[in-house]
Amino acid sequence: MWQRYRPEERVVTPRAADMVNTRWLGQAGTGAFMRQLAERQSDPSGRVWIFVPEDQLSAQIGPLSRQDPCRSGIVLVESHWKAARRPYHKQKLAFTLCNLRHFALEQAARGVAVRYIQTAEPYGTALGPLISELGPLSVMEPAERELRLDIEPLARSGALHVVPHEGWLTVRKQFLRGVGARPPWRMDSFYRLVRRETGILMNGSKPVGGKFSFDVANRRSWKGNPPAPIPPVFASEPIKAEVEELIHTHFSHHPGHLDLETIPAAESEARALWDWAKVSCLPHFGPYEDAMSLESNNLFHTRISALLNIHRLLPAHVVGDVQALDVPLACKEGFIRQVLGWREFVRHVHVATDGFRQLPGRKPTIEGEPGDGGYAQWAGRPWPAPVQHEGWDGTAMPSYLGAHRKLPPAFWGTSSGLKCLDTVVADVWNEGYSHHITRLMVLANLATLLDTSPRELTDWFWIAYTDAYDWVVEPNVLGMGTYATADLMTTKPYVSGAAYIAKMSNYCGSCNFDPVKSCPITRLYWAFLARHQGSLSENPRLRLPLAALRRRSAKQRQGDAKVFGKVGATLEAGKVVTPSLMNEVGGT
């Protein structure tokens, strides 16, 4: 495994937005990126100009895919204002910047004229003067709600012509046909409709293999065989070196370990990672997709989600590739369900609820500023509030179960004494990555059991993960991971005691707690059900757990509540949960 990030290694400096002057990169500086871009540039006259956001880095979709490269021009904006809105992981910043710059070079090599802006301003502000020079631009509708708000005034004025985003595999009409206009919405219904309408993994009207989902078969723990593949690394080169210098100079106050060799940046590197995944991961992906291990934080997951979310790899292409692979059907269907089913579903839910600001029967609180995910737990001071713009809000704060506690310092690298939590957190700050079960059943599970604020946990995910954008992270954490939106898009809270973690991982073997006899997570689970049984009593999927709760004695339930209080207070104070502490409250 790559070198672990150590949270004490940090340098706090002024905000990036205060340190970077707005300028045209093509008119100043002598760096390797700019020199290479200048060498490849074409005559910009007579071009049809397109604004390409940083998460649409493909020439195979949208207006750029249909125009002659030698008659096309693209505008790319490297916004340090965006980087300053939240304390994003250094690895996330580097991933975005490296891919944006390599995309600029690749398009210039095709004959596309490139205007590359480096700015400390919002996108809309930076684009205004350029539109005055070049005339109206076209743009595919941004996936991010924040970017849509940023450029909305330009779109209303006609300066930006917005066309549908062609990276998605489904459209809103399919979402409505699959799940209806009003919630509750369920991914399974949507997924089945899309499978039928697209013919993917279908034999006529029947699913290949007789079932739409093989999820029940994909729940094996990993015992070391087959061997877990090692992700590829990528050569150092001048573009990455410049990005590294930029981050160390202007973004050293951001958290996380930076390792440029693990970042696929060029188009060829994105393809190489996907080629590795098809050969090394997908043949074993299905059975072990829910497994967790100390030896590999990856196991057989493809690690392509960040590339999919910026369209360096296209969802349609990867789904087509997987359909053609000679791998077990459970592996094939499990992967396709994540991309064609869940990924598309959460995007539709996010749009339909306006980022969870509009919930039937409930009016969630709207925070005025972006959250920092508890940044002060690491840096010793809050993240500076960004300048807000008229008509903007921060983030929606639904909390169906009323959870409101601060995120424990353990999520920022302070030891908790819980091997599962400390392992996954260290992996996240080391790489900006962990797979979906560690996100759901370790991080979100523990935060939910502790009644942690769903919004603060969501902001932490948004900050810490390389693949996190509002449309994907908010549904996954608010909607699924914390049950903050009730049954809007999931059927139950995804919580568990230690038994699930012990079954699906080997974390417990080197932990100070025994998963059967002494682990506080199990007592936290029972305490969670007891606290919230009034809100959950009508949920049919919790009938058996709530029946088991009723069989617990009054003494056991009092002990559960004491463990919740003591463990929560200990972690909130940044202290370690120990077996002796559990003995004090009768938690063993």
SS3 track for 165-221: CCCCCCCHHHHHHHHCCCCCCCHHHHHHHHHHHHCCCEECCEEHHHCCCCHHHCCCC
Whether the pLDDT of residue 96 is over 90: the answer is yes
pLDDT exceeds 60 at position 15? no
- The stretch 447-454 carries a mean pLDDT of 98
Residue 306 banded pLDDT, cuts 50, 70, 90: very high
For strand 137-140 and strand 113-119, is the pairing parallel, antiparallel, or unpaired?
Answer: unpaired
d(CA 191, CA 177): 11
Strands, E assignment, 290-406: 365-367, 395-397
**pLDDT at position 54 over 90:** yes
Count the helices and strands in the chain (H runs, E runs).
Answer: 26, 10
Res 218: pLDDT:
85
pLDDT at position 30 is 61
State the helix-helix crossing angle for 90-109 and 32-40, rounded to 10 degrees.
20
Query: Residue range 415-422: average pLDDT?
Result: 98
pLDDT at 502 over 80: yes
Let me know: does 91 contact 466? Beta carbons within 8 Å.
yes
Q: Which DSSP category does 31 fall into?
A: -
CA dist 81 → 250, 360, 410 (Å): 12, 34, 29
Q: How far apart are CA 521 and CA 582, in angstroms?
A: 11
User: What's the chain's Rg over C-alpha atoms?
Assistant: 24
Asked whether the predicted pLDDT for residue 388 surpasses 80, the reply is no
**Predicted confidence (pLDDT) at residue 174 exceeds the cutoff of 90:** yes
pLDDT score at 217 = 82
CA distances in angstroms from 97 to 28, 119, 152, 267, 536, listed in the order given? 18, 13, 24, 14, 44
Taking residues 305-325, what's their average pLDDT? 98
Q: Mean per-residue pLDDT for 258-262?
A: 96
With cut-offs at 50, 70 and 90, classify the pLDDT of residue 6.
very low
Question: In the prediction, which pLDDT does 393 show?
Answer: 76
pLDDT average, residue stretch 416-432 = 98
Alpha-carbon separation of residue 247 from 76, 260, 453 (angstroms)? 19, 11, 30
Task: Tokens for 530, please give them.
Answer: 């007891």
Question: 381 pLDDT exceeds 60?
Answer: yes
- Name the phi and psi angles at 140, rounded to 5: -75, 145
Model confidence at 27, in pLDDT bands (50, 70, 90)?
very low
What pLDDT, on the 0 to 100 scale, is given for residue 16? 30
- Write the DSSP assignment of 42-87 as a string of letters: ---TTPEEEE--TT---SSSSHHHHS-GGGEEEEEEEEHHHHHHTT
pLDDT reported for residue 11: 31
Instruction: State the average pLDDT for the chain.
Output: 93
Q: Give me the mean pLDDT over the 337-364 stretch.
A: 96
pLDDT, position 470: 97
What is the rounded average pLDDT of the residues 216-236?
A: 94
Q: How far apart are CA 461 and CA 458, in angstroms?
A: 5
Confidence (pLDDT) at 361: 87
Does residue 588 carry a pLDDT above 60?
yes
State mean pLDDT over 188-210.
98
Is the per-residue pLDDT at 368 higher than 90?
A: no
Measure the CA–CA gap between 298 and 437, rounded to whole angstroms.
Answer: 11
- 113-141: average pLDDT: 96
Lowest-confidence pick of 56-65, 210-219, 254-263, 482-491: 210-219
Confidence (pTM): 0.94
